[in-house]
Structure 1
Amino acid sequence: MIHAVLHDSKDTVAVAVVEGIKAGTELTAWIMDEDKTIHVTAKQDIPIGHKVALQEMNVGDTVFKYGVDIGKVVAPIAVGDHAHVQNIKTKRW
């Protein structure tokens, strides 16, 4: 079962595509551009449509989604964390 998708292997987050992801779930994420899968364990509940971190990120790091810079880290993020407005902000303002 595919739980999350990402476009590019350089992406630092993947998007949850199923409902009910709970902390402790072993996720299978599909890298679309390469047609391969990777695995990560969710450390927190991840709502459908939200992001799960694929690597450790520190304050100031750039977050990549769909191969694009989507913002900067404002609070440390661990692999498997829910990556959202509590730890990522746009660079636009």
Structure 2
Amino acid sequence: MDAFLRLHPEDNVLVALKMVEAGTPISIDGRDVVLTDNIARAHKIAASPISAGDVIVKYGMPIGRATANIAVGRHVHVHNIRSDYTPTYSLRDTDGVERKAS
């Protein structure tokens, strides 16, 4: 698994060490997975199944919660997690208009 790194043994995400393209086969903890997303360098993928509401752990520390179910090998980023610790400064409604969060 030379393309991804687990930063701490308790992490449920892996960090990409380089750009990895969708369709790339990898092995995560003995489980063979084919990536369905392009993963940019320094972005995260799920190392194990993560359910909506589960805590995301990176560096052995909680960094936020899943807002949707995330399968093994799927991209973990702002589209499917939210921070419990950092305020959101803007929101984008379904009409695409950006508004300040209150």
Pairwise TM-score range, normalised by the shorter structure = 0.7 to 0.9
CA RMSD of aligned residues (A): 2.0
Instruction: Report if aligned partners of 1:4, 1:27 keep a CA contact under 8 Å in 2.
Output: no
Structure 1 runs (4+) deviating above 3 angstroms are 37-40
Q: Does 1:71 align with 2:70?
A: no
Percent identity, aligned pairs only, is 34
* Matched pairs, number: 85
TM-score (norm 2): 0.72
Q: Unpaired runs of 5+ in structure 2?
A: 88-102
Amino acid in structure 2 at the alignment position of 1:48: R
Q: Please report the TM-score for the alignment, with normalisation by the length of structure 1.
A: 0.78
Aligned-residue offset at 1:52:
0.8
- When Rg is computed on C-alpha atoms for both structures, the one with the higher figure is 2
Structure 1's unaligned 5+ residue stretches are: 30-36
Structure 2 distance, partners of 1:39, 1:2, is 15
Higher relative contact order, structure no. (Cα contacts within 8 Å, ≥ 6 residues apart): 1
